[in-house]
Amino acid sequence: MTRLVIASGNAGKLREIGLLLQVLDIEVLPQSAFGVPEAEEPHLTFIENALAKARHASRLTGLPALADDSGICVTALGGAPGVISAHYAGEPRSDARNNEKLLAEMQAQADRRAHYHCVLVLVRHANDPQPLIAEGSWHGEILRSPRGEGGFGYDPLFLDFRLGKTGAELPPELKNRVSHRGRALAALLEKLRQSPL
């Protein structure tokens, strides 16, 4: 079984990625299992941050590494919170405080459109010149109050147009199919089938 380090400490992301990569007989290990500290994320784009995180985890473990950089982009806020979604309301990170801040910022906004965006970068080794890159988006709108108990991050505020449910109201298997991360992982799986680790 191939071992792959996930360059994240986010339990929700680890769970989603682990479930989806099982089909390729890939053992997913969190970077914390190797004592790898979180990488710096100084960049303005999801792709640059994901690449930095993947190279960092691979360099410190000697294993292939997969990093995800994702966030929610709100049209009325010019794409914010974007790459700072996880710490929109500052440190320490808190989903509840992030959601409160987003609701406050959106209070006077009529345009509620938003989308989650995810970029996955997989490097076979730290200096891989051809990393596998996959992206996915999930479109919806920001509600005026939270709904649902599941998911994480902004899921209680994010309404999927087509399904009429928030990310926090969807069962995990359905969320994994329709979400930004699910779509990016499906694209990555296809690339891995064509170019195995």
This prediction has a pTM of: 0.91
Better pLDDT: 22 or 130: 130
Q: How far is CA 110 from CA 17, 82, 100, 114, 159, in A?
A: 35, 20, 18, 12, 15
Confidence of residue 59 (pLDDT cuts 50, 70, 90): very high
Per-residue pLDDT, 2: 87
Token digits of residue 137: 């988006």
155 is catalytic: no
The Cα diameter of the chain in Å comes to 52
Q: Which of 69, 111, 155, 160 is catalytic?
A: 69
Q: At 172, which CATH number?
A: 3.90.950.10
Cα–Cα distance, 80 to 98 (Å, whole number): 12
pLDDT tens digits, 97-156: 999 999 999 999 999 999 999 999 999 999 999 999 999 999 999 999 999 999 889 999
Cα–Cα distance, 19 to 170 (Å, whole number): 16
User: What residue numbers bound the domain in which 177 lies?
Assistant: 2-194
